[in-house]
Chains A and B, each alone.
Chain A
Amino acid sequence: MIVAEQKPLAEIMRMLAPYENVLILGCGTCMTVCDAGGEREVTFLHDALRLAQKKSGDVTHKFTEYTIKRQCDPEFLEQLHDRISGVDAVLSLGCGIGVQAIAERFIDLPVLPGVNTSFMGMTKEAGIWDERCSACGECRLDDTAGICPITRCTKGILNGPCAGAKNGKCEANKEMDCAWILIYERLERLQQLEKMRRYYPLRNFRAIPRPRRITSNAVIEAGESDG
């Protein structure tokens, strides 16, 4: 899941300043799960913005709210047609992908990000989310006992642990587990400690051409037969 954090109210208000009619748009998938932009947060932000307006005496803005299932699919965005007429800007509480999807679909409409998209992660417990994947494009989790050193090691090193590990914790943050110690312990549990003996060559960051695109084989084949 993509994890994000709602932007501070002051920043949101600064972004909104030039626009009179604003649609606050929630996202019913990842942003709902991470409490950053589901329907409850949309309504809460709406309430907060109205209260802020009242407090400041500047009541030029008009807000509407809506939440769609996913902002990152064009079909869901079609549902917005009726709601964006007369709107000067959309405040998207979707992740960065949602914001861009809206920008792409409604080319004349300013779209503002209401959240800071942070990482791909998982729920640790209610209200706490942890980063787990860096989307490097060449997954080695089979070699590292299902624990990603690129994401969870502060230094992202492929052949750890480094000399900074102490009592199982990282030198950069004493609260944080050393990813490589975790990997070692889990390999030991799985009786695959020999994997620790291997040397992993450096990743070639240049090899990742951005932005990436994945095209399914079926689409490729269909394209070839067309051609």
Chain B
Amino acid sequence: MYSPSNTDKRNYPANRTEKRPDHTLIPPCQAACPLHMDIREYVDLVAQGKVMEALQSIRAGNPFPSICAYVCTHPCEEACRRSQVDKPIAIRALKRFAVEFGGDRVVQTEAETRYSDKVAIVGSGPAGLACAYYLRMLGYPVIIFEAHTEVGGMLRVGIPQYRLPREVLDTEVHRLNQMGVEIRTNTRVVSLDLLFELDYKAIFITIGAHQSLRMGIKGEESPGVIDGATFLKEVNLGLKPSLDENVAVVGGGNVAVDAARTAARLGAKNVNILYRRSKKEMPADPTEVAQALEEGIKIRYLITPTAIERKNGQLYVTCVRMKLGKPDSSGRRQPIPVEGSETVKKLDSLITATGQVPQTPGEFGVRIGRGSTIQVDPVTLTTNRAGVFAGGDAVTGPATVTEALAAGRMAANRIDDYLQHRYPVVSSEEQDTLTGELLPETIEMIRKIGRIEPPMLPPVKRTKDFAPIELGYGWEEAINEARRCLRCGMGAEIRFQDKCATCLTCIRVCPYHVPYLDETGTVKIPPDQCQACGVCVAECPAKAIVLRNPRDIRNISEELEHVYKSTAESKNKPLIIGFCCQYGLFGTGALGSLWRGTKAGVWIVPVLCIAKVDPEHILRAFEIGAEGVFIAGCGEQCARENTSAQVMQRVEKVRKVLKAIGIEPERLKMFIPGAIEQISGFFLESLVKQEAKE
């Protein structure tokens, strides 16, 4: 059936998308995020300088964005398809920019109590805090029991302060208190039965994995040998363990790297990490490893201690060289000692960081599985005991903060299901995730813009104290970095296939060579290649193509109607309407200066790239009474090089019509400014002159 075109001018074709409001494809970054945050959306908002909105978007998907902004291991960046072009978007750093400049610190969260069923959370690590946050949002009274003197679990005792400033954590804890979450520190839970007796209806066990694994070598108990988890805990709780000058750290994970960098900050001169496999197998975050090397820490590969002896206050550590054998059950190659390769190292301290496991009290009566982790149902998160749920490192073994937050959120939802006697609602509707490699011909047409790294403290300054080492973006860096996003999955689609006349215009105008004619003679726009520039949408003579993100174009018509209503009362003349690109620094309010200091009524219609401005929009602007209309692109920062040429063709088309109607074509102008003054000065003046002539 052939659909009619719209007779009401205010109904642009995008209105028809209401039937399928959520038809965008999930981008790979979002799919990789344990919290499934709408990364594409907030990066896009940062690119427009809309930090408050970006923060809003971030908060919708993350209970503690400020924490993630510092410590997230950003699997999203590993999934980012921009890495096929040059380097991935610096998503974590952009999130930090958004939470800092958007004012996350002062966000107030409120929660009201809707239910009387009390929930107890055992452990105040990221999973426990997240669970408390979401349970309060759902309306449950929540109390957290924490065995340590301070709140935060690994966020407090595990992660060094140079990676996560404690004020950030304190702010989040304070916010939870404001929401009505009670946190009892110094309170070790010994019996779940007791909690049930105290009328808690559900319990969430999230006690983390704090118990260091022993290496099982002779002399491990000697003074001067300390395990990584205990070492970090002592430092983080304000103790200063004495290490002296020569320190070695055994292990290759993040705890080993954290311990080594912490040791350097405590004054150790020579810090060596001893790892029994090679660089390739090392599980620690490569960025952290690189930073550790910058700070003067050395990493010795294929080596492991086999015995420790303490003589005259010194440690004599026997080490053996390793070689790699066949892959073991973890898929990594098994290290095998090389016979006769023993050497003895003289050290002051040795830190062992060879893995951690949860330590669940037997009195809890929950079933323990592999690696001392608590066994739970993967869907309901319930343990073998009714009303007892578990999550976080206690279930998974050592994992990331973001994974713990995701576990906490899921637990809150499952506890809600349990308390409301609902069968767990697990979404069966899997949304399509955008996958697929960018084709070489697409990559070729994408403008190469290098990744902008957030500035860091110089390495020599870093090891002096525990100050945060990453300094964070300023406006310009953040916005330019965010503009690199390819907006995967938001691109164009031929929504109204019945209208498509197979005219091939889209194939001819696409700057990225994306649309193609398939073997049946049908035009296809592969969503994994489309760069969402909007050119084909504005050029399709049949209006068969829409963008998967209808906001982009619908906003233009909505804004125009807003201007129409607002200007009815406005006395400022002449009315000038400008379609202005919102991307880059250009969109961040520099344009606001236009209508300050001038008596003209200048109205800005924000557009996400001027390539999306349709000739119809321009005519409509004149129809609602504009004396002059201008289109202002973002110039050199534009993601493409020939945007203005295409828009200029449309401008000429409209000028021709204006002339026929008797409106001077000069009343429509296009600018690709570096300079805002160009618009306010030249254009306004010429308009005022014209007015005077009339």
On A, residues with C-beta under 8 Å from B are 8-10, 26, 28-29, 32-33, 35, 38-44, 46-48, 50-52, 54-56, 64-69, 76, 79, 123, 125-126
A66 near B543 (CB under 8 angstroms)?
no
A51 to B508, CA, bound (A): 31
A66 near B7 (CB under 8 angstroms)?
yes
B503 beta carbon closer than 8 Å to chain A = yes
Contacts of B5 in A (CB 8 A): 26, 39, 42-43, 65-67
B505 beta carbon closer than 8 Å to chain A = yes
B540 near A40 (CB under 8 angstroms)?
yes
From residue 598 to 632 of chain B, which have CB atoms closer than 8 A to chain A? Answer: 615-616, 619-620, 622-623
Contacts of B543 in A (CB 8 A): 38-40, 43
Question: Please, which residue of chain A has its CB at the minimum distance from the CB of B544?
Answer: A39
Contacts of A65 in B (CB 8 A): 5-7
A42 to B542, CA, bound (A): 10
B508 near A40 (CB under 8 angstroms)?
no
A8 to B657, CA, bound (A): 9
Contacts of B657 in A (CB 8 A): 9, 44, 48, 51
A33 near B541 (CB under 8 angstroms)?
yes
A55 to B657, CA, bound (A): 12
Query: Which secondary structure dominates chain A's binding surface?
Result: helix
B19 beta carbon closer than 8 Å to chain A = no
Instruction: Quote the shortest CB–CB distance from B553 to chain A (angstroms).
Output: 13
A1 to B4, CA, bound (A): 23
A50 to B625, CA, bound (A): 12
Instruction: Quote the shortest CB–CB distance from B2 to chain A (angstroms).
Output: 5
A48 near B661 (CB under 8 angstroms)?
yes
Contacts of B662 in A (CB 8 A): 52, 55-56
Instruction: Quote the shortest CB–CB distance from A115 to chain B (angstroms).
Output: 13
Question: Please, which residue of chain B has its CB at the minimum distance from the CB of A54?
Answer: B623
B168 beta carbon closer than 8 Å to chain A = no
B499 beta carbon closer than 8 Å to chain A = yes
On B, residues with C-beta under 8 Å from A are 2, 4-7, 9, 498-499, 501-505, 508-509, 540-543, 615-616, 619-620, 622-623, 657, 660-663
**Besides A50-B623, A67-B542, A69-B2, 19 new A-B residue pairs in contact (Cβ under 8 A), listed by A number:** A8-B660, A9-B660, A28-B499, A28-B501, A32-B542, A38-B543, A39-B499, A39-B542, A44-B615, A44-B657, A46-B9, A47-B9, A47-B620, A47-B623, A51-B619, A51-B663, A66-B5, A123-B504, A125-B508
B660 near A38 (CB under 8 angstroms)?
no
A46 to B502, CA, bound (A): 24
A103 to B486, CA, bound (A): 51
Contacts of B9 in A (CB 8 A): 46-47, 50
Question: Please, which residue of chain B has its CB at the minimum distance from the CB of A36?
Answer: B541
Question: Please, which residue of chain B has its CB at the minimum distance from the CB of A48?
Answer: B657
A8 to B615, CA, bound (A): 17
A48 near B501 (CB under 8 angstroms)?
no
Instruction: Quote the shortest CB–CB distance from A221 to chain B (angstroms).
Output: 32
Instruction: Quote the shortest CB–CB distance from B262 to chain A (angstroms).
Output: 63
Contacts of B541 in A (CB 8 A): 32-33, 35, 38-41
B622 near A38 (CB under 8 angstroms)?
no
Contacts of A9 in B (CB 8 A): 657, 660-661
Instruction: Quote the shortest CB–CB distance from B557 to chain A (angstroms).
Output: 12
Q: A9-B657, A10-B660 are in contact. Are A79 and B2 (CB under 8 A)?
A: yes
Closest 5 CB pairs of A and B: A38-B541, A126-B508, A9-B660, A33-B503, A47-B619
28 residue pairs bridging A and B, Cβ less than 8 Å apart: A8-B660, A9-B657, A9-B661, A26-B5, A28-B2, A28-B501, A38-B503, A38-B543, A39-B499, A40-B541, A40-B542, A43-B616, A44-B615, A44-B616, A47-B615, A47-B619, A47-B620, A50-B9, A50-B623, A51-B663, A52-B660, A56-B662, A65-B7, A66-B7, A67-B542, A79-B2, A123-B504, A126-B505
Contacts of A48 in B (CB 8 A): 619, 657, 660-661
Instruction: Quote the shortest CB–CB distance from B443 to chain A (angstroms).
Output: 23
Contacts of B498 in A (CB 8 A): 69
Instruction: Quote the shortest CB–CB distance from A102 to chain B (angstroms).
Output: 16
A180 to B34, CA, bound (A): 69
A67 to B7, CA, bound (A): 11
Instruction: Quote the shortest CB–CB distance from A76 to chain B (angstroms).
Output: 8
A67 to B3, CA, bound (A): 8
Instruction: Quote the shortest CB–CB distance from A38 to chain B (angstroms).
Output: 4
Contacts of B620 in A (CB 8 A): 47
B661 near A52 (CB under 8 angstroms)?
yes
Q: A43-B5, A48-B661, A64-B7 are in contact. Are A33 and B501 (CB under 8 A)?
A: yes
Contact of A68 among B2, B505, B509, B616 (CB under 8 A): B2
Question: Please, which residue of chain A has its CB at the minimum distance from the CB of B7?
Answer: A64
Question: Please, which residue of chain B has its CB at the minimum distance from the CB of A30?
Answer: B501
Contacts of A51 in B (CB 8 A): 619, 622-623, 657, 661, 663
Contacts of B622 in A (CB 8 A): 51
Question: Please, which residue of chain A has its CB at the minimum distance from the CB of B617?
Answer: A47
Contact of B501 among A10, A32, A43, A79 (CB under 8 A): A32
Question: Please, which residue of chain B has its CB at the minimum distance from the CB of A51?
Answer: B623
A48 to B621, CA, bound (A): 11
A64 to B662, CA, bound (A): 23
Contacts of A66 in B (CB 8 A): 4-5, 7
A68 to B3, CA, bound (A): 8
Contacts of B509 in A (CB 8 A): 126
Contacts of A32 in B (CB 8 A): 501, 503, 541-542
Contacts of B623 in A (CB 8 A): 47, 50-51, 54
Contacts of A67 in B (CB 8 A): 4-5, 499, 542
A55 to B663, CA, bound (A): 8
Contacts of A43 in B (CB 8 A): 5-6, 543, 616
